[in-house]
Amino acid sequence: MAFVAEPLAKLIAEFNKLPGIGPKSAQRLAYHLLRSSEEEARALAEAILAVKEKVKLCSVCFNTTDCDPCSICRDTQRDHSKICVVEKPSDVIPLERTGKFRGTYHVLHGTINPNKGIGPEDLKIRELLSRLQNGIVSEVIIATSPNVESETTALYLQQIIKPLRIRVTRLARGLPFGAELEYADDLTLGQALENRQEF
Amino acid sequence: MNTSRTYQVEGVILKQARLGENDRILTVFTSELGKLRVVAKGACSPRSKFTGNVEPLTHAVMLLAKGRNLDILTQSQTINNFLDLKKDLWRLACGLYVLELVDSFTIEGSESRPLFTSLLEILNELNAAANSEIALRYFELRLLRYAGYRPQLQRCAICDQPLRPELNFFEPSKGGIVCPHCYSRENPKARYPVSVEALKVFRLWQSCDYATAKRIKLKSNLSTELDHVLHGHISYLLGKELKSRLWLQRLKKELLSKERTATVNQGVC
């Protein structure tokens, strides 16, 4: 890009590497930053650096945190007998937003994917099992996404946790709010019918 | 001349990959057009009309629109989502192995109706909790046949003499069984001895339908022998180890050790 100043071209190229950002969006973001004040640009740069320098994984639940153990694992008001198992750190956010769960989490950092050669040893499953040995945990809630890889992970977890005599539950399946019944797939609709509740 | 931009296919979804934020690329094995790659727009959104219809191990009728590069999925109606299969860890692993096999042995746009029928047959059998070992071996033999690699089981693949009822050997590079005489003379790299019993089963399965094939009662060592030979042939042809097979082997080992522990515990009680 000889017609664009070298630092600007470099910024565009860096933005372009981000997920969901194409060349046009990268260009738009770079020009926006160029127009914005120096404080704004510095704040963004510092925020990016801080993420890389300060954010690490919690040694208990493996969620992203800036202090170890994370605020959820340290919270004595939370129910430590319940562990909600999720695939990735970003899955904790929507579950916390519901305000319905006061237990703790465990982040697997992926799912078992036989066709890609990702097995249990590539995930934080061994760490989950060692958490379950302390005798405090009475329930493990499997909150994996409803797809084939996550289903494999959930079934595998169920198989290895059941012998420990710990209750294994999973999130209910059903229709999302605002969805149209006409377009619901048979699997979801079938499970919504099976798990119907008293009204 | 058909100028319609849309067309309908019946297929089984082999795999899917994410495309951008919300879309998915599906690899579908269809009865009409063989293997296809299509785009399901917005399929990652929880409110998408495709949610649940575009997962691997789904048999569906799909309406596709011709796209510039890849065709676009516009409608999908599930025929069978093999729900029982997906509820069992072992059978789910078998199903994923079958899908990877089909994906590895087929090329895009090459139609094979008999293979499609066989694929549906095995998925239905796995869904109905049939003997997965027999179903998998029978399917592997069918797949090799439809892919053009039908093993030579009647005559020696080197000297062309009829095989005798004795211990023979399977030589993947020759595409079939070789007699002990040729095996020692040629000194091939084959590591797959084939017993008389195993050869009989292979020959029967190569010529009969599944209803007859599943009547056979396989002893554990014979089942292992059949698996060993076919796996050797398949990995030689593909030049790689299927990842889903490694998962299958791992689960088999875990399930066997679990069974052994249960038996020991019962003995103690």
Q: CB-CB: which of A115, A152, A186 is closest to B89?
A: A152
Residue of A nearest to B103 (CA): A115
> pLDDT for B21-74, tens place per residue?
788 999 999 999 999 999 998 887 766 777 777 889 999 999 999 988 899 999
CB contact under 8 A, B89 and A156: yes
Task: Give the domain-ending residue among B82, B111, B127.
Answer: B82
Q: Is the pLDDT of residue B261 over 70?
A: no
Rounded average pLDDT over B218-237: 91
How do the domains of chain A map onto residue ranges? Answer: 6-54, 72-198
Q: Number of folded domains in chain B? A: 2
For residue A43, what are the β-bridge partners? none
What mean pLDDT do residues B158-162 have?
89
Distance CA A16, CA A18 (A): 5
Instruction: Supply the CATH classification number for the domain A72-198.
Output: 3.40.1360.10
Question: Residue B56 falls within a domain, yes or no?
Answer: yes
Q: Does B78 sit within 8 Å of A186, measured CB to CB? A: yes
- CB within 8 Å: B96 and A152: yes
Phi, psi of B207 (to 5 degrees): -110, -15
Q: How confident is the model at residue B268 (pLDDT cuts 50, 70, 90)?
A: very low
Q: How far is residue A2 from each of residues A6, A22, B241, measured CA to CA in Å?
A: 8, 20, 47
Dist CA B256 CA B206 (whole Å): 29
Is residue B67 one of the residues assigned to a domain?
yes
Over residues B108-120, the mean pLDDT reads: 92
Chain A residue with CA closest to B91: the answer is A152
Q: What is the reported pLDDT for A90?
A: 93
> Is B13 in contact with B58 (CB distance < 8 Å)?
yes
- The residue type found at B139 is F
Domain that holds residue B17: 6-82
Does any domain span residue B190?
A: yes
Q: How do the pLDDT tens digits run along chain A, 199 residues long?
A: 567 899 999 999 999 999 888 899 999 999 999 999 999 999 999 999 999 999 999 999 999 999 989 999 999 999 999 999 999 999 999 999 999 999 999 999 999 998 888 999 999 999 999 999 988 999 999 999 888 889 999 999 999 998 899 999 998 887 777 777 877 777 778 888 888 888 8
CB B64 within 8 A of CB B71: yes
Helix (H, G, I), strand (E, B) or coil at A83: strand
Could you tell me the CATH number of the domain that includes residue B28?
A: 2.40.50.140
**Checking phi first, is residue A178 left (phi over 0); if not, alpha (psi -120 to 50) or beta?**
left
What integer pLDDT is reported at residue A81 of this predicted model?
94
Determine whether domain A6-54 maps to CATH 3.50.50.60.
Answer: no
Kindly list the residues from chain B whose CB atom is less than 8 angstroms away from the CB atom of residue A188.
51-52
Instruction: Give pLDDT, residue B203.
Output: 93
Least CB-CB distance to A117: which of B52, B55, B246?
A: B246
Q: Which has more pLDDT, A145 or B118?
A: B118
Rounded Cα–Cα distance for residues A173 and B85 (Å): 17
Which chain B residues have a beta carbon less than 8 Å from that of A184? 52
Smallest CA–CA separation between B42 and chain A, in Å?
14
What is the DSSP code (8-state) at residue B55?
A: S
pLDDT at B269: 41
- Say yes or no to pLDDT of B91 above 50: yes
- Burial string for A21-57 (b: 16+ CB within 10 Å, else e) reads beeeebbebbeebeeeeeeeeeeeeeeeeeeeeeeeb
Q: Which residues of A touch B247 (CB under 8 A)?
A: 112, 114, 119
pLDDT band with cut points at 50, 70 and 90 for residue B186:
low
Question: How many Å lie between the alpha carbon of B75 and the closest alpha carbon of chain A?
Answer: 10
Cα separation, B54 vs B99, whole angstroms: 14
